[in-house]
Amino acid sequence: MFSYRHATINDVSLIRSLADGVWQATYASILSPEQIEYMFEMMYSHENLTMQMRDKHHHFIIIMRDEEPCAYISIEPLGEGRYNFQKIYARLEVHGLGVGRYMIEQGVEWVKECERGHNNDIVIELFVNRANPAVGFYRHMGFEIVNTRDHDIGNGFFMNDYIMERTV
């Protein structure tokens, strides 16, 4: 049902388009419209996405359903066997079809491949808004809440997140 491919710099517009299709619906009941707009432009401008991929070495995986892009995950290598799953988003029409599990599984496989030959545990972390119903999904996928953060992102806005981790 789902397939994937690794994104390149040439996919920046596609990633932005996928995000634009889910961002408002994901956060409308959690954040103000002003914060949603501010965060979207901050995180998904062409320049920022390009910088994430080229300079910060974020790895994006694009998920397809019937050859049509429908979801993506971004993974930031932190060093010493640690990774942050930065962005995990899917179009609403594929929610409930297993796409979330598929994204996490592909991300885990990618980090395992990156760590092949090392003898350390791999720790994957993610930040999720404390009011986001996805917290339950991440728990189901083996992530545990290890802390909270109230991260000042500028313009008077904060990201009020759980820090969740999973060891693989």
Sorted by sequence, the CB contacts under 8 Å of residue 117 that are 6+ apart come out as none
> pTM of the full predicted structure?
0.94
- Provide the CATH number for the domain around residue 109: 3.40.630.30
pLDDT-derived band at 13 (thresholds 50, 70, 90) equals very high
Separation CA 135–CA 129 (nearest Å):
8
Q: Which domain range does residue 63 map to?
A: 2-167
**The two three-digit tokens of residue 153, written as one number:** 């992102």
Q: How far is CA 69 from the centre of its chain?
A: 15
Pairing between strand 123-129 and 82-90? parallel
pLDDT-derived band at 119 (thresholds 50, 70, 90) equals confident
pLDDT of residue 23 exceeding 90, the answer is no
Number of domains in the chain: 1
